[in-house]
Amino acid sequence: MLTIAHRGASAYKPENTLEAFKTAMSTGSRFMETDVQLTKDGRLVLCHNYEVDGRNIKTNILKDLNLPTLEELLDILKPETKLNIEVKNDDNIYPDIERKILAVLNIYGHKLKDNILISSFDYPTLQRVRALDKQIKIGVLTRNFKIENVLALNAYSANMSLKRINEEIVKACHKENIKVFVYTVNTAKEAAQMAALGVDGIFSDYPDMLGN
């Protein structure tokens, strides 16, 4: 079972900062997760909330937000590091963000893209990603699991909450060769429960929890 560094090593450093991702890699993490949004001046930035320090990301420019960019994160990744990019795009707040993300990934090369998993709670966002790129890995983030939605996207994984995952979902996914990743698992007891369910990976603020 993999441990995916949730927003970097966010238990040790501020989430979605370059320091958090560097710390995760220093613990030996080979799989990390971040949130991506789009600024007014068209920059892809790492942030979970739609506002930071009282500023709306969509209506402010990069220099006024003081957030790291997706390019800055890609620059520091080790070649073997996998990255789950969660696209924050409820109700298509950022039109064309999918194309912008894929354009950046294309600049960094096909080898890097093999290590990228794109996820979102917004299903139409994932549909647009799949329409633009038939090969890139997709993770369906969902609070209402439907195997047909996962299959329709030829998804790599179903990403589910610790509160909602169950044996039936795991079996349904594994029957179709779909990975199951569960968030957010921050205790040894929870990790043991997920291992017993047979999930493939856990998102954790403690990337060193399982030693991988």
Question: Where exactly are the structural domains of the chain?
Answer: 2-204
pLDDT at 109: 86
User: Going along 60-135, which residue ranges are E strands?
Assistant: 82-87, 116-120
DSSP 81: -
Residue 190: CB atoms within 10 A of its CB come to: 16
| Model pLDDT, residue 113 | 86
Straight-line distance from the first to the last Cα atom of the chain, in angstroms, rounded to the nearest whole number: 9
Active site residue 6: yes
Please tell me which residue in 3, 6, 31, 117 is annotated as part of the active site: 6
How are beta strands 31-38 and 44-46 bridged, if at all?
antiparallel
pLDDT under 50: residue ranges of the chain: none
The pLDDT, as a whole number, for residue 212 is 53
pLDDT of residue 209: 78
Beta strands in the chain (DSSP E): 2-6, 31-38, 44-46, 51-52, 55-56, 82-87, 116-120, 137-141, 157-161, 179-183, 201-204
User: What is the amino acid identity at position 175?
Assistant: K
How far is residue 2's CA from residue 17's CA, in Å, rounded to a whole number? 22
Coil, helix or strand for 24? helix
The pTM is what?
0.96
Residue keyed to tokens 């990069």: 62
Q: Match domain 2-204 to its CATH number in 3.40.30.10, 3.40.50.1820, 3.20.20.190, 3.30.470.10.
A: 3.20.20.190
Are 136 and 118 in contact, with CB atoms under 8 Å apart?
Answer: yes
Q: Which of 13, 30, 40, 48 is catalytic?
A: 48
Task: Give the pLDDT confidence of 154-165 residue by residue, as tens digits.
Answer: 999 999 999 999
